Amino acid sequence: MIRKIDEYNKHIAIICIRVPVIGNVDKFISDIKAVVEDNPFQVFNADRIAGWKHLFFATVNALNAFKHDRNKTKTLQMEILLYASGERQIHKAIELLGIREKAGKIALIMLSEDREKLEKATDVLVKSVRGELSNESLEILTEKKFQEIRAAYNISDAELKALKAINSDEREALTKLVIEKGALLSIGD
């Protein structure tokens, strides 16, 4: 899926790719970098992503942090990782959302001013990693993923119950709580 972030005149591609085996993580990331060229990108363990909105808002929050000189890292990619994880420390963010050698699904965001470049990069990337596009895997569609995300982001019963009272969809409530945890990074320093 590709969306435009008007305020920054950028397009964001948010995709999920099923890969048989990642193998060497550094080589895998290097292969992605060769495809996306100079465009910022970040990869995540898709099992810990609470839907495309989770990554979209993490990216917007990271762009805002750089725009207003509130960034905690030197690169946009690392800032996106912090906002997606809701963690202030990079090693904790990587532990929560980093890809592993045996990960079956990776989530990926790419940014560019050129939408066509992102479309082409998506096609080339899926082929180059011998993967299969699986964007539905970003969403919280199973109870197992729901519980894993809830545990990973320490979402309490009280938090979930409070938001569920406003929004009857439990999965949407969880997504909003995960997004909120990331957004809270911008305050409190």
* pLDDT of residue 189 exceeding 60: no
* pLDDT of residue 34 exceeding 90: no
Q: Architecture of 2-186 per CATH?
A: 2-Layer Sandwich (3.30)
Banded pLDDT at 134 (limits 50, 70, 90): confident
Q: Please report the pLDDT score of residue 78 as a whole number.
A: 94
> Whole-number mean pLDDT of the chain?
88
* pLDDT of residue 16 exceeding 60: yes
- Domain positions in the chain are 2-186
Residues in the chain, total:
189
Q: 66 Cβ partners below 8 Å, 6+ apart?
A: 76, 79
